[in-house]
Amino acid sequence: MSKLQMLLEKSNVVIADGAMGTMLQAVGLAGEAPALWNVEHPERVRAVHRAYLEVGTRLPIANTFTASRFHLSKHGAAERVAELNRAGVALLRDEVQAAGVDAVIAADMGPSGELLAPLGALAFDDAVAGFEEQARALIDGGVDVIWIETMSDLEEVRAIIEGVRRVSKDIPILASMTFDTRGRTMMGVKPETAARSLLEWGAVAIGGNCGNGPEEILAVIQKMRAVAPNAILIAKSNAGKPEMVDGKTIFPATPEVMAQSARALRDAGARIIGGCCGTTPAHIRAMAEAVGR
């Protein structure tokens, strides 16, 4: 049995991570590749992990979202994929060990930021190779599970899964997509379609993350549940619908709102509940308390 399965056996709801990106922005990240901070400001990344572990996160995610060569090449760091991903996993592992908690260590993988052919210029095989490179660093670094998130294009999810499977036949893969465009992903994928495909491709848990806040994610969970009643469902919503105020992005949902949402998500069948952009340790604490950890 995998560590993730053991965690799921122990509790009806596993508390996942809150946001990393917006937390790092709050302490100065501006325009750099977030994964560079795994080496340049490791203490700031560790502080975020520590804060979430303290309030109940048991499925924390390493700071490796967008740490593929597709993004790093835009920051002159295409040759640092292995270094930055391994560093991200090591920071999280150290922090989990220091906290002395029983947590499953996840590594984050996300979209390339490019469109796959034939819509765009990125060939499927090149996408697979780039994701394989990132997955190799993460798996060599010792992660327990791979978490693919904030996805819009199902084909790109398939490319990531294929990249991961070239490195490991059995590491558990979680996959969540962002249904922020009238109930579909930006690329038009419906939750029901996503659920069927992701399960068929072997994801052990599926769901929604990011987007326009808790109500949107609740609808995703309900739709996925309807077509995949036995699936382990992930709900990781932003802290409300992002608003622009004085040129800054604000996430309006309070910890209380997210706590209420966590209860509703649990009642709708979500088993892995966390937060995406705009959530903080205060949000995760309130959510963990609401669902009884």
Site residues (vs Zn ion, CB under 5 A):
210, 276-277
Distance of closest approach, residue 276 Cβ to Zn ion, in angstroms: 3
Nearest residue to 129 via CA among 173, 78, 76, 74 = 78
How far does Cα 140 stand from its chain's mean position?
Answer: 19
Give the torsion through C-alpha atoms of 236, 37, 103, 271, to 10 deg. Answer: 10
Q: How far is the CB of 122 from Zn ion (least distance, A)?
A: 22
Distance of closest approach, residue 206 Cβ to Zn ion, in angstroms: 17
Compute the chain's Rg from CA coordinates: 17
**What is the closest distance, in whole angstroms, from the C-beta atom of residue 279 to Zn ion in the complex?**
9
Q: Shortest approach of Zn ion to residue 290 CB, angstroms?
A: 20
Dihedral angle, C-alpha 129, 187, 115, 131, nearest 10 °: -20
In the complex with Zn ion, the residue whose CB is nearer, 38 or 279, is: 279
Give the SS3 label for residue 285: helix
Of 210 and 284, nearer to Zn ion (C-beta) is 210
Q: Which is nearer to Zn ion, 19 or 139 (CB)?
A: 19
Give the nearer residue to Zn ion in terms of CB position, either 8 or 205: 205
Residue closer to Zn ion (CB basis): 210 or 286 = 210
Nearest one of 116, 96, 113, 115 to 105, comparing CA atoms: 96
110 with 104: CB under 8 angstroms? no
Supply the DSSP string of 67-121, one letter for each residue: -SHHHHGGGT-GGGHHHHHHHHHHHHHHHHHHHT-----EEEE---SSPBTTTSS
Residue number with CB closer to Zn ion (195 or 276) = 276
Minimum CB distance to Zn ion, residue 160 (Å) = 17
